[in-house]
Amino acid sequence: MSEPLSTPLSTESTAFRSALEVIRAVEPRIADAIGQEVADQREMLKLIASENYASPATLLAMGNWFSDKYAEGTVGRRFYAGCRNVDTVEALAAEHARELFGAEHAYAQPHSGIDANLVAFWAVLAQRVEAPALERAGVRNVNDLSEADWAELRQAFGNQRMLGMSLDAGGHLTHGFRPNISGKMFDQRSYGTDPVTGLIDYEALRVTAREFKPMIIVAGYSAYPRLVNFRFMREIADEVGATLMVDMAHFAGLVAGKVLTGDFDPVPHAQIVTTTTHKSLRGPRGGMVLCDESLADQVDRGCPMVLGGPLPHVMAAKAVALAEARRPEFRDYARAVVDNARSLAEGLMRRGATLVTGGTDNHLNLIDVASSYGLTGRQAESALLDSGIVTNRNAIPADPNGAWYTSGIRIGTPALTTRGLGATEMDEIAGLIDRVLTTTEPGTTKKGAPSKAQHILDPKIADEISHRATDLLTGFPLYPEIDLG
């Protein structure tokens, strides 16, 4: 009798298995941690709006010899010799980004979103503060300024204004808030949302901009479930002489996938656009800057201006992910992300949950768990995690529980959409979330006082939901092409 034929391992399985074997031979605990992380990600319902799953090609592109190369500077203008292959990689990443987003210029080096924003801030400061100072002094380089002119320029750098979206309306810490370096660099003022509709109040923004006269207006968010009209924002910026910067980290995948077009596509409207590459764009962990030609030279000075040595292996992965995002199927993906967020919203609201703004137009929803379920965001987040559902707490506008405990839970669909879940599954997930939150109660401190952190959830319910979440996911395997053995 002949032996049964075993199915040959896929190329991806062989690649990842071999990599783990090589790592295991040196530090088995790291190989175990990597294997465990894949297992955890496969089992959990991942609804963190800023997370996703990069493709095997993107992940593999990061583990290579480019990690061993220094390449300060940028393509064709390096401070190190021997960068021809890094130049190839960085130029390709930038080319894919320009083509994908229709941008005049792209800079693929930032290591993260914070870094991308810092590159952008300093590019604008260089264009609007440094360049005129050099011109006035009749020199080309800051090293040629007199001590007095240099002191004056340094004062001027620290004396500029920025207008950004308030944190509780969904803005980001790097948009001028004091705990972040942007808040220490700029005199910041915030714009918010209408207390009734929850939508950005553009007229109030215009009034604030006229009065405050910022040098930079920052648009973009990490917890706002609606569209932003970037044409309006540019009009306001032009009216007050501000540069419009858009941080599209959260919704870059929706721009790439042509779900956000026209007034809602930031690239044709803003002078400078920053992003991360690992959220809805589904690339490796990192950042990127797009800009018009007038800022290109300043942006390219990001390293060594504010960035440490580039990570060429990550730029290689960015190039791969951007090439994937240029394929027609990425548009289907981006559309499905938004459709799924809407299905989740409808499922939650039908069951009685209150959503900030009453729904969503993008990849995320914000549940007001305080008014819907009498919980803080911290309690809801922990109860959901006990039940195998990974979300994160988030402040809501005028949050009575502050930025630490919060009253909101932010849920996003980019990751589960990558796994192939659709409207039916979203409705079931809405039911699981609602069941966890309706059966969770606020807990108490050890001394019996009310606590904003502790929660009470019957472990049997948590187990039941957790099992259902895992069962649901077995129909949508993460990396079906990879068998780690």
Give residues in contact with ligand DSN (CB under 6 A): 50, 113, 222
User: Is position 202 annotated as part of the catalytic site?
Assistant: no
Residue 172 in marked binding region: yes
CB of residue 174 to ligand DSN, shortest distance in Å: 7
Say whether the peptide bond before residue 304 is cis (omega within 30 degrees of 0).
Answer: yes
Residue 135 in marked binding region: no
CA–CA dist 130, 467 (Å, integer): 59
CB of residue 366 to ligand DSN, shortest distance in Å: 12
User: Is position 474 annotated as part of the catalytic site?
Assistant: no
Q: At what angle do helices 328-350 and 423-439 cross, to 10 degrees?
A: 40
Closest to ligand DSN by CB, 280 vs 357, is: 280
User: Is position 318 annotated as part of the catalytic site?
Assistant: no
Closest to ligand DSN by CB, 222 vs 357, is: 222
User: Is position 51 annotated as part of the catalytic site?
Assistant: no
Residue 293 in marked binding region: yes
| Active-site option among 43, 72, 152, 187 | 72
Closest to ligand DSN by CB, 269 vs 279, is: 279
| Active-site option among 24, 161, 231, 285 | 285
| Active-site option among 247, 265, 368, 425 | 247
CB of residue 222 to ligand DSN, shortest distance in Å: 4
Q: Which residue is at the shortest CB distance from ligand DSN?
A: 50
CB of residue 163 to ligand DSN, shortest distance in Å: 19
User: Is position 27 annotated as part of the catalytic site?
Assistant: no
User: Are the C-beta atoms of 333 and 138 separated by less than 8 Å?
Assistant: no
CB of residue 40 to ligand DSN, shortest distance in Å: 18
Closest to ligand DSN by CB, 222 vs 387, is: 222
User: Is position 191 annotated as part of the catalytic site?
Assistant: no
Strand bridging mode 243-247 / 73-74? unpaired
- HSE (CB half, 13 Å, CA atoms) of 128? 20
Residue 171 in marked binding region: yes
Which residues contact residue 304 at a Cβ distance below 8 angstroms, ignoring those fewer than 6 apart?
Answer: 72, 73, 79
Buried b (16+ CB within 10 A) or exposed e, 49-83: bbbbbbbbebbbbbeeebeebebbbbbeebeeeeb
Strand bridging mode 408-412 / 364-368? antiparallel
Residue 60 in marked binding region: no
Closest to ligand DSN by CB, 145 vs 167, is: 167
At 73, which helix (H) or strand (E)?
Answer: strand 73-74
DSSP code of 145?
A: S
Pick from 159, 162, 215, 216: nearest CA to 190? 162
| Active-site option among 276, 376, 417, 418 | 276
**Looking at the chain, how many residues does it have?**
485
CA–CA dist 379, 377 (Å, integer): 6
Q: Which residues are catalytic?
A: 70, 72, 247, 276, 279, 285
Numbered residues of the known binding site for (6S)-5,6,7,8-tetrahydrofolate = 167, 171-173, 293
Numbered residues of the known binding site = 167, 171-173, 293
